[in-house]
Structure 1
Amino acid sequence: MMEGFVSPNSTCTRACRTLVCFFAGVLTYQDNFEDAASEIAKRYPGAKIVSIFPYGTANGTSGSSLFRLLARQLTQVGYDLALDKSKRVTEAAQFIREDIACADNIILIGHSAGGVVAYRTGLYLEKEHGIQRAEVFAVGSPKFFLKDIPYNHRFTYITGQNPDRITQIGSWRRPGSKSYRGKPGREIQIEFNPTHQGWRFHASYFLRSVWTDANEQFHANSEDLISKISELMQGNRLS
């Protein structure tokens, strides 16, 4: 069941100039995006920040219940990878639609399978409601078949420097298809905390996760990620 929460880091609640929506993947907890939300608040003084959990949260789940939740969520992810429009996409669009009317900036940021839902939600809003200003960022997400459409110019795919099993799933182009031959407008790589490996790396994109590079420069995953997204947004406005 989809769940949505307004972040306490929001700097605006009504008639906001900026709407930022984080889309979660599987086995994600309610506070997963709050480090990143605090970075959004520093850069966008009039932002409503919403966390959307298309597959529900993992809060209060443990033991065998956690495995049952994962099995159910993975089945739903399979549908979202295969279908251009699912129940989760339409529900997410409905959840945020009333906040979009006043927003000059609409930023949809998805993690893992949430990146797929973020992309499809932005496209649904464009097709069904004529909203053509949403910028979409998929972080550590699986690849999925894309049509070659102008909307993709507002879609950025972000990965880290370490191999992430999830980003190795799928492809942008369907072999032999004349329709699904698209790709993201941008595919970029960001340096994240190198001490994380495997699934810990995949889970840490949006966490503060502080580290120091070879030049003794201080970094934090959430700060670097949101800084890059903000930079790309600024570049889009100038182009």
Structure 2
Amino acid sequence: MAVKSSSPLHVYLLAGVKTTTCAFNACKARLEEQLHSEGIDPLIHVLFPYGDASRNVVKQVLEVKTDLSNRMHAGRIGGRLVWEQIKDNVRGQRALFIGHSGGGAAAYQAARLLEEEGALHDYRVVQVGSPRTPIHPDMRDKVSYFHSVDSFGKLNDPISRIGSWGGWIRSRGYVPRWNRFKYAPGYVEGIPTVGGHAHYFRTEPYVDTNAVCNLDKTISRVREWLKGWL
């Protein structure tokens, strides 16, 4: 698969609440291996918008809540922290944001801030096991959302039930009707993972009956969505 541009691909892995500093090690290594095999030379950065596992969890959760709003002047604490850290390096470059849990909300908000100031245009945002953050209509096609499902295809990650994509629309006869997907990402998919919310990027022992680990499942689905852009 050929790269569309000669500019480097910046990949940002964004952690959620109470995440250890080594949580993305396997994911980073696997992404580097796969992208290099396709002739892509990525610059992969691991960021902690709300601090790591050593920080007070209540403060982290309260900061995540500020990133769940789509209001123009919302606090966006995690998103603004990421924006501040990367704005000088990513300007005019290609960027891929992959955020787990609250990191998915921060990823979207950071990308939106960068786009609002005209610093970023060629990018994609991947939210994994994240709270539902309303996505601006102009950004829908650049944002994907992956969540864990059980053997029946039913959502089984409680964090993915937090927040809302809903909004009012006018139906026939101009009667307002609530559409729960009005502000949803452009692509939403369930992944049959083993374990719980914290295990999307884990290898053994989080392996299914076909010997496929959660990390490979998650990366495989993300890469499939990114086809045509990478």
TM bucket by the smaller chain? 0.7 to 0.9
Return 5+ residue gaps in structure 1 as ranges.
Answer: 1-14
TM-aligned CA distance change 1:168 to 1:87, over 3 Å: closer
**1:120-135 to 2 correspondence within 5 Å?**
120-135=109-124
Q: CA deviation at 1:33?
A: 0.8
Distance in 2 (alpha carbons) for counterparts of 1:70 and 1:127:
30
8 Å CA contact 2:92, 2:121 repeated in 1: no
TM-aligned CA distance change 1:138 to 1:81, over 3 Å: same
- Asked whether 1:51 is paired with 2:46, we answer yes
Distance in 2 (alpha carbons) for counterparts of 1:127 and 1:101:
12
Letter aligned with residue 52 of structure 1:
L
What SS class does the counterpart of residue 81 from structure 1 fall into? coil
- Asked whether 1:158 is paired with 2:146, we answer yes
**1:37-186 to 2 correspondence within 5 Å?**
37-45=28-36, 46-58=41-53, 61=54, 69-82=56-69, 84-101=74-91, 103-104=93-94, 106-147=95-136, 149-162=137-150, 163-175=156-168, 181-186=182-187
**1:218-233 to 2 correspondence within 5 Å?**
218-233=211-226
Q: CA deviation at 1:161?
A: 1.4
TM-score, length basis structure 2: 0.79
Return 5+ residue gaps in structure 2 as ranges.
Answer: 1-5, 151-155, 169-175
TM-aligned CA distance change 1:23 to 1:226, over 3 Å: same
Aligned residues: 204
TM-score, length basis structure 1: 0.76
Letter aligned with residue 68 of structure 2:
L
Distance in 2 (alpha carbons) for counterparts of 1:126 and 1:96:
13
Q: Deviations over 1:63-106 (max 9, x none)?
A: xxx7xx111111112222235452432221231233324744x1
Distance in 2 (alpha carbons) for counterparts of 1:88 and 1:129:
20
Identity of aligned residues (%): 26
Aligned CA RMSD, in angstroms, stands at 2.5
Deviates most, 205-214 or 70-79:
205-214
What SS class does the counterpart of residue 43 from structure 2 fall into? strand
